[in-house]
Homo-oligomer: A and B are copies of this chain.
């Protein structure tokens, strides 16, 4: 009620403004009242007071490092970036035909994808509200295309339900929804909920349940009503009408546990419209790095970070120059190295920052990309993009959101697992991993066996540059350490997804980077 009253007041005020100043003024006022939902990105910090020519050493050429370098350089700083990999982008990475990848333990895989095919082993989708990412994509002309998160025609699969036969998302969705709405309507009609709803709303609610739940006039979920949503046994054609399908038995839907996969797509993190960069996730880092290449030194493994009151000294191994130890100095430092790696680098950061770095564990995940000779999921099964979820070890299958209907090969994300579920794969040789992936995969797409072409896999805890997938904070570690690691420590400021409240997402890396350079510039400009 308090909110209601507040809203009423705001609306009255808006009405007044609207009446006197026209629509556009009304719009501006709505913005001011926060009634239009904005993201947490409010543009890059204002660095106009930057001490021109001051030097900043940036560790890491992932998105956090690149955004920091771009904005600092634009403001007048002199920047230098060191990165461990022989490419920019960090986890914003795409594997293409000809690429080689060597993981910890020594396995080297060569990617054999056809021209134009790729796998994003790291981040692979951009929520529409990640406006920091989308801002830079737009600024650097990186073309974005929809990432098909939800596909009602993709499968939900439980080996122990429905005889192991995959069900279409639309079937489980419609049937779960229909049966539960039928139950609720029944309860309302039996007057069981009269203490919770007014008599007036009762009729309206029943009407709404009928509409939303696809119930008939007797509030029953049937094949006739449900087929409009779950799909028909035979669709309408030139000479005949559609023939209804038969809904799944409610007990079977419940015990299948497949309902647990319905909700993810409606989570604001995955809500429509999601995006991906056309041609691979490395497009944005490559675009930002384009004018920074002379400031970036790749294949540089940082082994020591030392700061004093005058500046920062970083020792690194130049892996492109016979593993020589070299030194780089600067007045300031932005360090985006993942804590999993940073914890192992000698440094003289303050005790409390070190404690924070040590406290953050890193998640792991496993992804396998498989190229098939033809896009059988489209041609045979009418699945265009989207995700199939399964209880099999591969966890999920994601079909490509680009090159729809093309006649050539296609790369599918054939396994995506987290935590201990990923170890079953990563403990194996790359060849054995693919064999295990395909063992599962054919249970959902039998024709995949014939269509298999080649594949590649990435286990993130075996990635030498990150030793994990992303920083895993708990409520306790947040409480105890986050302020320390996100506050500039003398001349070094930390950045990256792990120094944000949006871990695992590129948006976290970007927003954390902007916050880091804001702090750095505040310090540097007061010098």
Instruction: Say how far A23's CB is from chain B's closest CB, in angstroms.
Output: 4
Contacting pair B272 A151 (CB below 8 A): yes
Which of A233-241, A293-301, A415-423 is found at the contact surface with chain B? Answer: A233-241
Chain B residue with Cβ nearest A131: B382
Q: Does A198 contact B (CB under 8 A)?
A: yes
Q: Does A16 contact B (CB under 8 A)?
A: no
Which of B176, B208, B445 interacts with A254 by CB under 8 Å?
B208
Convert A157-187 into 0s and 1s, putting 1 for each residue whose CB lies closer than 8 angstroms to a CB of B: 0000001010010100110100011011011
Which of B128, B137, B214, B231 interacts with A382 by CB under 8 Å?
B128
Convert A193-229 into 0s and 1s, putting 1 for each residue whose CB lies closer than 8 angstroms to a CB of B: 1001110010011001101101000000000000111
Contacting pair B229 A275 (CB below 8 A): no
Kindly list chain B residues whose C-beta atoms are within 8 Å of the C-beta of A152.
Answer: 266, 271-272
Given contacts A184-B184, A385-B273, A511-B238, contact A446 B24 (CB under 8 A): yes
Distance between Cα atoms of A24 and B174 in the complex (Å): 30
Which of B234, B236, B251, B486 interacts with A201 by CB under 8 Å?
B251
Instruction: Say how far A504's CB is from chain B's closest CB, in angstroms.
Output: 12
Chain B residue with Cβ nearest A511: B238
Q: Does A394 contact B (CB under 8 A)?
A: no
Contacting pair B183 A197 (CB below 8 A): yes
Q: Does A380 contact B (CB under 8 A)?
A: yes
Which of B11, B146, B212, B449 interacts with A385 by CB under 8 Å?
B146
Given contacts A180-B209, A236-B40, contact A201 B254 (CB under 8 A): yes
Chain A, range 250-284, C-beta contacts under 8 Å to B: 251, 254-255, 259-260, 262-263, 266-269, 271-273, 275
Q: Does A242 contact B (CB under 8 A)?
A: yes
Chain B residue with Cβ nearest A15: B163
Q: Does A190 contact B (CB under 8 A)?
A: yes
Contacting pair B386 A501 (CB below 8 A): no
Kindly list chain B residues whose C-beta atoms are within 8 Å of the C-beta of A275.
Answer: 384, 404
Which of B184, B254, B404 interacts with A204 by CB under 8 Å?
B254
Contacting pair B183 A180 (CB below 8 A): no
Number of copies: 2
Given contacts A152-B271, A260-B211, contact A229 B186 (CB under 8 A): no
Kindly list chain B residues whose C-beta atoms are within 8 Å of the C-beta of A269.
Answer: 228
Contacting pair A260 B208 (CB below 8 A): yes
Q: Does A476 contact B (CB under 8 A)?
A: no
Chain A, range 445-461, C-beta contacts under 8 Å to B: 445-450
Instruction: Say how far A119's CB is from chain B's closest CB, in angstroms.
Output: 20
Contacting pair A23 B240 (CB below 8 A): no
Contacting pair B271 A237 (CB below 8 A): no
Which of A29-37, A305-313, A354-362 is found at the contact surface with chain B? Answer: A29-37
Given contacts A228-B267, A272-B150, contact A129 B163 (CB under 8 A): no
Distance between Cα atoms of A266 and B152 in the complex (Å): 8
Contacting pair A238 B508 (CB below 8 A): yes
Contacting pair A237 B501 (CB below 8 A): yes
Contacting pair B239 A501 (CB below 8 A): yes
Most chain-B Cβ atoms within 10 A of its Cβ — which of A190, A238, A386? Answer: A238
Q: Does A192 contact B (CB under 8 A)?
A: yes
Distance between Cα atoms of A214 and B511 in the complex (Å): 28
What 10 A-B pairs have minimum CB-CB distances, sorted nearest first?
A: A40-B237, A27-B446, A23-B446, A238-B515, A11-B163, A238-B511, A236-B501, A192-B192, A187-B187, A273-B384
Residue positions of A touching B, CB distance < 8 A: 3-4, 7-8, 11, 18, 22-24, 26-27, 30-31, 35-40, 128-129, 131, 134, 137-138, 144-146, 148, 150-153, 163, 165, 168, 170, 173-174, 176, 180-181, 183-184, 186-188, 190, 192-193, 196-198, 201, 204-205, 208-209, 211-212, 214, 227-232, 234-242, 246, 249, 251, 254-255, 259-260, 262-263, 266-269, 271-273, 275, 380-382, 384-386, 401, 404-405, 407, 442, 445-450, 478, 486, 499-502, 508, 511-512, 514-515
Q: List 18 A-B contacts (CB under 8 A).
A: A31-B380, A129-B382, A131-B382, A145-B145, A146-B385, A183-B197, A186-B196, A192-B192, A201-B251, A204-B254, A205-B254, A208-B254, A229-B268, A231-B268, A237-B511, A239-B500, A273-B385, A273-B386
